[in-house]
Homo-oligomer: A and B are copies of this chain.
Amino acid sequence: MIGQTAGGAALYQAMSSLGHAAESGYQGPARLSRARPGASVVVLGAGLAGMLAAVELRNAGYQVSVLEYQGRAGGRCWTLRGGDRYTELDGTTQDVGFAKGNYLNPGPWRVPHHHHAMMDLYRRYGVQLEPFNQVNHSAYVHHSQAFGGKPQRFHHISSDMRGHVTELLSKATRQGALDEAVTTEDREKLLAGLQSWGALDKDYRYIASLHSSEFRGFARAPGAGLMPQALASTPIDLHTLLQSNLWKHIGMENMQEFQTTIFQPVGGMDMLAQAMARDLGPLIQYHAKVSKVEQSENTVTVHYSDARRPGSLRKLSADWCVCTIPASILSQMELQVGSAMRAGIDSLPYASSNKIGLEFKRRFWEEDERIYGGISYTDLPIRQISYPSTGYMRPGPAVLLGAYTMEDNGSYRFASLTPRERIRMALEYGSQIHPQYLKEFKTGVAVAWHRVPWIQGCFGAWSDALRAQHYEAMAQVDGRIVLAGEHLSYLPAWQEGAVLSSLDAIQRLHAKALSA
């Protein structure tokens, strides 16, 4: 039987019929036919969308130029390391003081395994991935008004909610309240399932016991030899739990976006951007500040200047243009497109978001509190504390994410402060959860996305109404210009949205170029 073989196609068929094929609109890497000889494209922006477009169009035979405003490629696919300098819109400059090997990803920081286009890019460029620890049952959930402000371990809250919910449903089922919804045949299996998931006792009660402690944790863990015997812990009662509101932080991990396996590139999110920029080499012109994009029946002309030498006007012409400049910047530029696309560009608001990286002298969250990676959630304006998913147990300084806000009051409040004040605020709030903060702090860096010069916001914040009105018009090829980026996707803020948008846009542009 081992000797049997089957062809790849037969295997794939077998897999498809088993329902194994990925349920994704992604059709695999772009397979563009050959471009017309001499055809040219200018790509605006060397983020992931722009660079992928440039790579695929170059490979198809186009003459490609990429104009990038910054001195580096990647856009929001960005990593700040020790020695980096970052200047905000108002000129405030931060010199990142992190120790060697430490970093903050101010933008995207994780990649779900089912983001197939991104995973293919990592594979293609040989970028090494490691697991991003999204859920840590030993991390905290914290509300300033609950449990006297004491942070609670995730495993206590999640186990107790599950215990109470399964106990309640067992009770209803056994009392016959659900006889219409559950057949007699199913009732027994449902009760067995509830008993097992909830760690209920033989009478379907969720009570303090060594059994329930195997889920929620022990008051004293089982030991060895003649050590003291294990002690059961006592569940939190349902009323206290519900009124604490901590249950609101339970369950997000069940969303597909956050399900295992979820990754991060080893060494920082920008490892892929660096690899793609190396691939494109001299095709990328850095420090190119685009001011105007014109198009005629035959050509696209981009007006730009050297961002380091204002006034130095230049022009670049090509047959086609892929524009990945965020709508937030595009709305401030002259772009010769139809009124429907223009209306979309001018209407799309960008979300507010902050990230603050804090470097501490040691990994006290690991050493003192046994929290290895994962995220603590709080109702404080910092919202989250995320512990590094790399270098576990390494001695010396480490960086955690001390605040991650999005589209809330805290987000606007942070953005109104100087970086130094933001860091102080993150430390002040964070020390309510980790008192070690004050003693162990070394240095920090704060990125308020509305103050980032080259985007002035975090991501395109489509409402349903706005999308219905403008999205399709913005996604069209307008003459010789097509837009791409996460703002032209149904996966806002995700890199997958940016690269899928890029692939979709260049396929349509290429088809038009061939038929023109």
* Chain A residues packing against B (C-beta within 8 Å): 1-2, 4-6, 11-12, 14-15, 18-20, 22-26, 113-114, 116, 119, 122-123, 128-131, 133, 135-138, 150-151, 155, 158-159, 161-162, 165-166, 168-169, 171-173, 175, 177-178, 181-183, 185-186, 189-190, 193-194, 196-197, 213-230, 233, 238-239, 242-243, 245, 247-248, 250-251, 254-257, 259-261, 263, 368-370, 372-374, 389, 392-393, 424, 427-428, 435-436, 438-439, 441, 472, 475-476, 484, 486, 488-491, 497-498, 500-501, 503-505, 508
Contacts and interface: CB of A to CB of B under 8 A. Distances in A.
A137 to B, nearest CB: 4
B177 A172 contact: yes
Q: Which 10 A-B pairs have the closest CB atoms?
A: A225-B504, A224-B489, A177-B177, A172-B172, A224-B500, A224-B501, A222-B490, A137-B259, A25-B223, A261-B372
B259 A150 contact: no
B23 A217 contact: yes
Nearest to A441: B2
A242 B11 contact: no
A12 B368 contact: yes
Question: By CB atoms of chain B within 10 A, which of A18, A22, A165, A215 has the most?
Answer: A18
Given A18-B151, A438-B1, A224 B256 contact: no
A215 B6 CA distance: 35
Given A26-B223, A193-B250, A229-B490, 15 more contacts: A6-B439, A15-B436, A22-B370, A23-B217, A113-B372, A131-B389, A137-B260, A138-B259, A161-B193, A162-B254, A165-B166, A196-B251, A227-B504, A230-B490, A263-B392
